[in-house]
Structure 1
Amino acid sequence: MSIGNSPDGNTPEDERPFEDDRAAEQVSVGRALQQARIDAGLTVDDVSNATRVRITIIHAIEQDDFTPCGGDVYARGHIRTLARAVQLDPAPLLTQYDAAHGGRPAPTPAAPLFEAERIRPERRGPNWTAAMVAAIVAVIGFVGFTVVKGGDSGDDSKTQVAEGSTPTASKAASPTADASKPADPKPDPSDSAIAAAPQDKVTVRVSAPDGRSWISAKDHNGRMLFDGLLNQGESKTFQDSSKINLILGDAGVIQLYVNGKKIEDDFRPGAVERLTYTKGDPQVG
């Protein structure tokens, strides 16, 4: 009896080398998030209410479809947020996502759905109304001065006024001089809106001085105020009677002013932040 290879030349099954198929059994990012949510006894609605991530995006991520996220930067932020909501460590999931999508990416352009309108500075022409009012005031002052002077001094005063004597000219020129004074310089619209923020409302200004980020803003009723991409150098100002809810796709490039005060939070680049601000001293809900 031969104890070597089998007659057909193949190695017996018991002697074949063990194949490590753990890689094939690795659970996908979406499946891991879904299973953790189910184990935690949470519905998709529960997770959406806790994280403010849209239900459609959560469903897509659990099916490993990251297209609705609008890019790798936002997809990583959503993965991190959902993992924390279902008590998972986001680091292994992010590593797995990066490995499947070519490594950790630089910020990428958002999908066309999130294209924000560009803020164009408003052109302001000369203030003709103020100039006209000043001219009318000057004329009325001149006529009134002439009538009063004529009643007190008789014909000689009228002659002096008609000939443009020095006293009459100097007094008549006074309103005109006031009219020629330049109007007080107006502050930048965005700065004045923050500085003069009403005490009975909450005013939030979002700027992107160091990059661009997708942002979403809602009022206290959940009505969408803005949902789109804020390009570098642009800013948006939102106001509500009691509360502003914000989602920042890349909080590290965002600068916030709330009720006239700068928020000094040290947000990390690429981090998705969900913030709520109310009236009075800036306080995050």
Structure 2
Amino acid sequence: MSIGNSPEDERPFEGDREDALPSIGRALQQARIAAGLTVDDVSNATRVRNAIVHAIEADDFASCGGDVYARGHIRTLAKAVHLDPEPLLARFSAERGGRPAPTPAAPLFEAERIRPERRGPNWTAAMVAAIVAVVGFVGFTAFKGGDDSGARDQVAEGSTPTSSTSASATPKKDSEPADTEPAPSDSAIAAAPQDKVTVQVSAPDGRSWISAKDHNGRLLFDGLLKQGESKTFQDSAKINLVLGDAGAIQLYVNGKKIEDDFRPGAVERLTYTKGDPQVG
């Protein structure tokens, strides 16, 4: 007795004679037993349900859903038990009066049909769309801000802040040594306009992530300030700073050094106006 089958499954049909040609179902059952396979083995290999395998081996093809599907099951099961399917199919056609007419798809044929998996929301596409939208918005904001020629002057890195030049003006020689000498020169201090706030951020002894915004909240800079580098920001009213490692940063506001003793690794949020230096 094979595992997965009841004794009745392996018992010969009553009335079978040794000299009689076995039926289609009996031939499939005998080939399965000779191959040492159980109904469960055949079902797992062919994806045909156990109930349908049992029914076909009993020559009951009603559960197949039609002659077309029955022929497909016979072919599939015959190959699984190493049996030539063509004689069985010819016999099936002869018993059914020739080749059957096409049969419409029936829900009973679910055994050989792989059901589609339910798909969840496409979070990857949504994330990509969100990133593209953010990048587009930032680019549009930067472009629009660059066209505003008289509202605010943002001082480019290493340039000397003046009241008559824009961020695209040629840097003066007085402020070029900022990478090697964090402190601004006397001329840079004297040139700081009185009607604006000018903030110079330097990293003489380390590096730190910094973020700078003007009084309207427009982002002036957001990134890593490496050791020896400096950035200068200017606005008509206020500069908002976020320092990722305040202990590595040296500040000059309106030409004057900020003497606050920032701890290494401390995150500081600072605001400076035209009347400073003092921490906002």
Q: Which has the higher contact order (CA 8 A, sep 6+)?
A: 1
Normalised to the residue count of structure 1, the TM-score between the two structures is 0.34
Higher share of residues assigned helix: 1
Normalised to the residue count of structure 2, the TM-score between the two structures is 0.35
